[in-house]
Every structure is written in structure tokens, then in C-alpha cells.
Structure 1
Amino acid sequence: MLPKVNQILHIQIESIDEEEARQEYKSRIADVTDTEIIMEVPINESTGRLKKLFKGDGLSVYFIAEGGVKNYFHTEVSGFRDDVIRLVAIRKPEPEAVTQIQRRSYLRVPAELEIALRLPDGERHVALTDDVSGGGLSLLCPPTVRAGEGQSLDCWLLLHMKSGTPEHIPFSAEVVRVKMHESGKHQLMLRFTEISDKDRQKIIRYCFERQLDIRKR
């Protein structure tokens, strides 16, 4: 079963920031095509604020069907439309991908990986990640690294796969949160805003490999 025009979607952002991931938004479906669901900009009903989304954002979604049954699916933002109001296009799931069981968002695993950053002013830094997922990552850096919430960073992540082949993953990310880590460093939580599907899948595969390694300990 797939959602229809005028149905309400209940949405959570797949984010490594636990506070952001807990927030729920609602949106009305304006149109449905063969490949996309076109919806209004989601709103947080508890605050009344609209949620700005970016192409590639991962979303956990459910809609309520007849009988009050919740139907869940994962999708991502595929683009935007300008009509009388701003609209957001999300990838239309296959019917078999819609379930009545809520699935977890991207698996997040602890990992120390080398990452290179380029700030908006061109300043470059090298740091280590604290954890990583298919939706983003967090990293530790000295307080002298002047990166603030909302900033966009260009990054390069070095993955060490079980195959032995190192993978260099380029991406752009938004700083969603900055906090002091117990080590005395700043912890930057990043959400991927521009990353190829191929590279995202490499990160997801790394996370599962990493999880298996952790379980064997």
C-alpha cells in the first residue's frame, strides 16, 4: 500500500544528532508521480516551525491507513518544486518496501577514521571521526577549528574496508551541532548534504563490517 494525495506523512530526519532525530514533522501530500511523492514543506507541530530539507536527506516516514494502521518506509529527498507554495519531492518507495514495522534508520558505529575538512573560508584541517553512519558522522577537533552550527563543509573521508582497499569518500556536510567532548576537544556532528549514492553505500557497508567486528570482541 502506498500513500495517496492529501494524506498526511509523519516524518523523522535520519540524523546522527539524536535530538534532531527525535523530532517529528508532518506534511501533506500534494501530488504523486510514477517515481516521486510531492509534499508540502514539513512542519514541527510542537514549535510551528517549518523544516528546511536538503537533497539527499534520509527520511523515516509513516502514514496512517484505514483502520488506524501505521505504514512505514524509508526514503530520501530527491528535489524541490516551486508551485503556489514550495514543495518537496521524495523518492517514491516500492510497494513491498512499505511495512507495518518501524525499521531503524542508518546504523551508527564508533570509528576513528581520518577525515579532511575545508571550511567556508578555505581553511583546511585533518581530524578523526568519533562515529559514522550512512546519514552523517561526528568528529573530534581542537577548539581552534572555527566551525559553527549551520555551516557547510567540504570533506574527504578515508575508509578502511575489509577488502583491504582504502576508499576516499568526498562529500559536503552541514554542521548540525557542536558540543564539548569529554576529551576537551570539540565534537562536530555533521549531516551529509551532498554525497553520491555509490559512496553512501560504501559507508553503510563499512558500518556493517565495523558492527560485526565489534560484536566479535
Structure 2
Amino acid sequence: MLPKVNQILYVQVNSIDPEEAGQEFKARIADINSSYISMEVPIHDKTGHLKRLYSGDQLSVYFMMEGGVKHYFNTVVLGFKEEVIRLVLIKPPEPDQITKVQRRNFLRVPAELEIAVKASDKLMFTALTNDVSGGGVSLECDERIAVKERSAIECWVLIPYRNGTIEHAYFKGEIVRVKPLENGKNIVMVQFTDIPDIERQRVIRYCFERQLDIRKQ
């Protein structure tokens, strides 16, 4: 069941910064169509401060139905619309993406990082990531590299930080999707299945720094 015009959305920004991620805002829905949901600029219920959002910000959202049941979905800021007041445009969820249980949604940032992949003892290759999150990565490789969905892989990703230091993060993952591109390459989407906490924190730190850089652009 989709939310309706004039309903209140409760919004959290999906950020690596725990202070920002822990704040909840609310916004009234102004309009809904197949392309976007427009909502008022979110406001903090306790402080009354408006939340400045950016195109591409990832949000965790819920709305209340009869009986006080919360319905959750994840979305992204598409842009803004200037009317009598400024409206924020977010991507509408598909009905099957709305759940009664809040899903953990790691911040995903666009990033070209060097990654080494071991798919088997006979298949090893290097590539560049397309995006990175605390829950997985997507990478681009030549279509002639025989990777298959649901197969297990090992990866080492090179992580450069803003202070000039470089670290490696090791993880085991599962290929959840292989998407062919028109340029003769594939996008390979990988979900972490086994990653030490210290390695995940390295990835999350990079995502936080990358998010700050993107917001400054």
C-alpha cells in the first residue's frame, strides 16, 4: 500500500555520520505520481530545524497506517521543485518494496576503486568498482570474464582516504546480479557474505568521506 497525499513521512538520512543518521524528520506529502513523490522540506520534530537535502541523498522512510502500523521503504532524492514553497522530489517505491520491518540500508556511493577478484583457483582478475557501500560493491568487468550469479568470490579492494593514506579491505561475497552493458562489459553486483568488522569499517569510513566530497560538488 502506497502513502497518500497529505500523509506524513518520517525521514532519516542514510548517512555514515551516526549523528546525522540518528535524527528523524517529518514531511507532508504534497503530490504523488508515477515519477516521484513530492514532499515538503523535512523538519525536525523537536528542534523545528529544516533538513537540507541534496540530490542523490539516500533516505529511510516510514509512514503510519491505521492502528499505528509503520510501513517502511528506502528511497533517494531525485531533485527539487519550486512552488509556493520548496518541495523535495523522491523516488516512489514499488508496492513490494514497502515492508513492516525496517531494512538495514548501507549508504552507497559512486566510486572507481581498484579491486582484485578471485572467483576460483583458475579465474582471477582486476577491475574497477562502480559504487561501494558497507554491504557490498558493484564492479565493471569485460564480458569475456566468466562470472556467474550466485557464485562465491573473494575480493581485495584498494581504499584511498582523504589524508593520503591507502588501505586494503578483504571480503568474501556473493554475486547477486550480472548486468550486460552495451560497451561489451558487465556490471557485477556483489553482496558481502563474510567481512571482518575492521574491514567493513574501512569501507564505511571511505563512504563517509566520499559522501562529503559529493555534497561539496
Shorter-chain TM band: 0.5 to 0.7
Give the C-alpha shift of residue 169 in structure 1. Answer: 5.0
- Report the secondary structure of 1:165's partner residue: strand
What is the TM-score with the length of structure 1 in the denominator?
0.58
The yes-or-no answer on 1:167 pairing with 2:141 is: no
Amino acid in the other structure paired with 2:108: G
Give the C-alpha shift of residue 35 in structure 1. Answer: 2.2
Aligned positions of 1:10-29 closer than 5 A: 10-29=10-29
Q: Partner residue of 1:194?
A: none
Give the C-alpha shift of residue 205 in structure 1. Answer: 4.5
Q: Which runs of 4+ in 1 moved over 6 A?
A: none
Aligned positions of 1:14-163 closer than 5 A: 14-106=14-106, 133-135=107-109, 157-162=112-117
Pair 1:186–1:45, CA change in 2 (3 A): farther
In 2, Cα distance between the equivalents of 1:18 and 1:186?
Answer: 24
Pair 1:161–1:54, CA change in 2 (3 A): farther
Q: Partner residue of 1:190?
A: none
**Count of residues paired in the alignment:** 142
In 2, Cα distance between the equivalents of 1:205 and 1:7?
Answer: 35
Amino acid in the other structure paired with 2:23: Q
Amino acid in the other structure paired with 1:25: F
Amino acid in the other structure paired with 2:67: G
Whether the 8 Å contact between 2:12 and 2:23 is mirrored in structure 1 is yes
Pair 1:135–1:43, CA change in 2 (3 A): farther
Whether the 8 Å contact between 2:76 and 2:90 is mirrored in structure 1 is yes
Give the C-alpha shift of residue 214 in structure 1. Answer: 3.0
Identity %, equivalent residues:
48
CA deviation vs aligned residue, 1:160-213 (integer Å, no higher than 9, x gap): 152632216599xxxxxxxxxxxxx799xxxxxxxxxx9xxx9x946x33x524
The yes-or-no answer on 1:212 pairing with 2:194 is: yes
Pair 1:82–1:167, CA change in 2 (3 A): same
Q: Which runs of 5+ in 2 are unaligned?
A: 119-124, 133-162, 166-178, 180-185, 198-217
In 2, Cα distance between the equivalents of 1:134 and 1:75?
Answer: 12
Amino acid in the other structure paired with 1:134: R
Q: Partner residue of 1:2?
A: 2
Q: Which runs of 5+ in 1 are unaligned?
A: 107-132, 137-155, 172-184, 188-197
Amino acid in the other structure paired with 1:35: S
Q: Partner residue of 1:116?
A: none
In 2, Cα distance between the equivalents of 1:157 and 1:32?
Answer: 35
